[in-house]
Amino acid sequence: MLQDSDLTPLERALCSAVAVGRLLDSRCRRSDEDDPARGRAWGKDRQIRAQVLRQLLTGEGCLDQAFGMPVAVRLRGASVIGRLNLGGRTVRCPLELYGCYLGGRLDLAKTEAPDISLRGSHLAQRLSARRLRLTGGLNLADGFLCHGGVDLRDGRIGSQLNCAVRR
């Protein structure tokens, strides 16, 4: 498990932001460079390890002690490094990855969560969300792109599914 002392400056900023539900925007504000399809080339100053997101969303580890309990994980224009495996876990707050790049697989199979938004994000690998249970909505729109397919079989979405997936 990662501790406060293991975090990069951007990861530390994210942990502070989620405690109040604030959006952390790591874009450089140049449209050609902020395109999530180019996220693989983004520098370390825009990278968040998947393990940090997992710990914030599930309460594993001790990040809550240093930063407080998350209200919402809201991240824009960042590259998520590694596989984000939330499969079979309960996510305790909303997750919003807006215009982000995920190079590793995103596993939401059998996950229970309030809301998940991946709008405008680029997933280089498959999204496994079989038997996903949401009390709120799922947003896969505004340029969302997923290579390798999206599996939502047997999922339950409590409110709205906003889906405009490009392959």
* In contact, 67 and 7? CB cutoff 8 Å: no
* In contact, 136 and 115? CB cutoff 8 Å: yes
- 20-45 pLDDT, tens digit each: 999 999 999 887 899 999 999 999 99
- 79-129 pLDDT, tens digit each: 999 999 999 999 999 999 999 999 999 999 999 999 999 999 999 999 999
Structure tokens, 18: 């989620």
The pTM score is 0.95
* Cα–Cα dist 123/105, whole Å: 8
